Structure 1
Amino acid sequence: MPDKLLYYTQFGLRLEAMMKYIPRTAVLSALILFFGIIFLFLSYTKLRRDSVPPFSKTDLEETDLDKIRQQVEQINPFFIKNKGQAPEDILYYFQGNNGAVYFTKEKIVFQNKYPIASEESSTTTLLVREVVHQMRFEGQQDDVMISAEDKQEATLNYFVSGVDVTDIPTYGKIIFRNIYPHIDAVFFFADNKLKYDIVIHPNGNPEDIQLAFEGIDELTVDHTGKLLLKTDAETVVHEAPHTYQQDGGSNISVSASYVVNRDNTVSINFGQYDLSRDVIIDPTFSSLAASTFLGGSSSDVLNGLVSDVTGNIYITGYTWSFIFPTTTEAYDEVFNGVTDVFVSKFSSDLATLSASTFIGGADTDQAGAIALDSSGNVYITGYTVSTNFPTSTGVYGQSNSGGDEVFVA
């Protein structure tokens, strides 16, 4: 029985849903039916081909549909006003391909969608999943005013389930005014990314700012000052707060950093600044700074990840792939058995595979965790069934006593 997930549907708050399994047999049946209809249609079309004027490849490439698609792709993201098409809790929202963001008076809700393969039977089922986390301004004032600015050209009409709402306006900016005395929050898009500014006006107290999160497994600040929100699906990143004051046409930088408090709220520490001017805190939401594949021709499983002080990323797991990528002069460049442990090192931007090796014997070997010490040495642990799993001279146990054995390397 799949786990329950608490998530926001497109227009429903706090609904419980099950992760849905979509049988590929059903998909295959639908495809067979679809292509059967296409075959009949093409057969009929062939009989009438002589009565239809021919058209050129150019006609196909320059259709109005292509032009419309190009225009749609050029539209900047926008916020949509709720005029009754959504529950009254939602004031504005953004709907994207991979999720949505909902703005209520009390919180901002982030819904992310993840298509993932089922571990139980990756060859027969697909697993569709949605994960939600929430951000709110802890201790915000009751009289906070939420409004929209920067009206966009797009106007939407909504017709579904008996609900008809027309002329829905769209905006480029959402403003939470007076979340704390003399402090506002502004949400907007830049480079197609959702961003927010916290603006401290004169007489505003930066110590009032407390960000609280729900639906987060772990909340940390990394060595670069980024706020990391770990969910069971990904790590959402709030970039280190770029903080400044405006003086004429210039921006004067102000020192600021995130602090995770004992109650799991987040505050912001400030350096000195001009109390007579606005202070603008300018972070950016980011859920995917970099992404890469690593693997071979068969199944590859990641079980551990850690980074060093310079941002290099170390991973471990196990693989069935005899062509899993390894690097020259690595400890072991050759696949050994049923499954082998792998240990790999990436640059911080995931652009370079700096090192990668197999570790294993002739049977099953699987790593489950990885760690680094202060000198940069890598430690892994897991279990092995291989009687020839590599060991070093003088260690505690140099041979497999039978069955599954724990290893530390």
Structure 2
Amino acid sequence: MEELVRKTLKENGQTLRFLENKGQVKNPNVLYYFNGKQGSVYIEKNKIRFIAQEYVKMEDESFKFDSLTNALPEVNNVLKSLHTFTLEMDGANPLPNLKLGDSFGTRYNFFQDLNPKNWVSGVHAAKDLTLEEIYPGIGLRLYSTKDGALEFDWIMKPGADYEQIKLKFTGQDNLKIDKDGGLTVGLRFSDVKFNIPESYQVTEDGKVPVKMTFKETEDNTITFHTKAKLDARYPLVIDPTLNWGTFMDDDSGTFDEYLYAIQIDTLDGVIYCAGATNKNITVNVNPN
């Protein structure tokens, strides 16, 4: 059972959680957002804002090793710099319908200062969300892979024109389309890579692969391009992936090393986990 609990907790930590904005983010245009070790992503009605974060590790030099408790020195991740860039859907519907997928059972509470009027509670977290009709006949679904990468599914209804999609980038240092057709967004201290691992039409016989690449049509504006002949009778899915390291913590085994005890209350069915971490943690409250 302990091994199952460890596995379940680790798998849960490898899925991005899109948090609804109920006022804890002061920008009212932000609908949903998530935070990860590489930075934060804010989803608005027709744009996505990325805030990349650069951290440096500083070990507490005053720490003295305690042989009785086997305590480890505290390592603080200190924020060194930020870089913000924005992906705007040029010419898109300013009021797309937001459709949520499955939600997590956990609710989040934010106590940002001492004034109860500013507290926000009961914030939902979605596993995926879709901006419907962001362009005529086109929706954008956002979700994550198991390793924490952000997936973009552009879903075209039969006959919809994928060339409507125009992605205007602002704030980056440079923008480059690679030889493999991927897109690299150059930032001050790192690069962000968009790939298109899979695109296809959905037919009665299953998926029909379609090779798609990025194409720069004008300054800092990106579209999709294919030489394939598409069948207007069937939906088309273009599936870019954002590879930014990963957004979640790495699978280093640190969680297992610091999970000291697991106790199961057989009467209430509650599992209690005790451990330690040197990472910043958001406190979650599950009302159930």
Same fold (TM over 0.5): yes
| Structure 1 residue corresponding to 2:40, chosen from 94, 100, 114 | 100
Per the alignment, residue 206 of structure 1 pairs with 162
1:109 pairs with 2:38? no
CA shift, 1:143, in A, is 3.2
Q: 1:85 to 1:259 in 2, by over 3 A?
A: same
Per the alignment, residue 176 of structure 2 pairs with 220
CA shift, 1:228, in A, is 0.9
CA shift, 1:229, in A, is 0.8
- Quick one: distance in 1 between partners of 2:89 and 2:168? 6
For residues 52-63 of structure 1, the aligned pairs below 5 Å read: none
Per the alignment, residue 348 of structure 1 pairs with none
CA shift, 1:267, in A, is 0.9
Superimposed CA distance per residue, residues 238-277 of structure 1 (whole angstroms, 9 cap, x where no aligned partner): 0135210122462111132111123220011132111011
Q: 1:131 to 1:164 in 2, by over 3 A?
A: same
Structure 2 residue runs of 5 or longer lacking an equivalent are: 58-77, 247-288
Superimposed CA distance per residue, residues 316-355 of structure 1 (whole angstroms, 9 cap, x where no aligned partner): xxxxxxxxxxxxxxxxxxxxxxxxxxxxxxxxxxxxxxxx
Identity among equivalent positions (%) equals: 25
| Structure 2 residue corresponding to 1:80, chosen from 15, 19, 32 | 19
CA shift, 1:82, in A, is 1.2
1:275 pairs with 2:267? no
Per the alignment, residue 357 of structure 1 pairs with none
CA shift, 1:72, in A, is 4.8
1:144 pairs with 2:84? no
SS at match of 2:229: coil
- Quick one: distance in 2 between partners of 1:99 and 1:69? 26
Would you say the 8 A contact 2:45–2:94 is kept in 1? no
Equivalent position amino acid for 2:196 in 1? A
Equivalent position amino acid for 1:262 in 2? E
SS at match of 1:207: helix
For residues 19-34 of structure 1, the aligned pairs below 5 Å read: none
CA shift, 1:151, in A, is 1.4
SS at match of 1:240: strand
Equivalent position amino acid for 1:103 in 2? I
SS at match of 2:175: strand
Equivalent position amino acid for 1:247 in 2? T
Would you say the 8 A contact 1:195–1:283 is kept in 2? yes
Per the alignment, residue 247 of structure 1 pairs with 203
SS at match of 1:74: helix
* Higher RCO, Cα 8 Å, sep 6+: 2
Per the alignment, residue 176 of structure 1 pairs with 131
Q: 1:95 to 1:249 in 2, by over 3 A?
A: farther
- Quick one: distance in 1 between partners of 2:120 and 2:190? 35
Q: When the two structures are superposed, what TM-score results if normalisation uses the length of structure 1?
A: 0.49
For residues 318-337 of structure 1, the aligned pairs below 5 Å read: none
Which is worse superposed, 238-247 or 277-286? 238-247
Equivalent position amino acid for 1:86 in 2? V
Equivalent position amino acid for 1:156 in 2? Y
Structure 1 residue runs of 5 or longer lacking an equivalent are: 1-61, 118-125, 290-409
Q: When the two structures are superposed, what TM-score results if normalisation uses the length of structure 2?
A: 0.69
- Quick one: distance in 1 between partners of 2:240 and 2:88? 16
CA shift, 1:203, in A, is 3.0
Q: 1:217 to 1:240 in 2, by over 3 A?
A: same
Superimposed CA distance per residue, residues 101-129 of structure 1 (whole angstroms, 9 cap, x where no aligned partner): 11111311111210259xxxxxxxx7711
Would you say the 8 A contact 1:80–1:93 is kept in 2? yes
- Quick one: distance in 2 between partners of 1:186 and 1:198? 7
Larger-Rg structure = 1
CA shift, 1:176, in A, is 1.1
Q: 1:171 to 1:131 in 2, by over 3 A?
A: same
Per the alignment, residue 257 of structure 1 pairs with 213
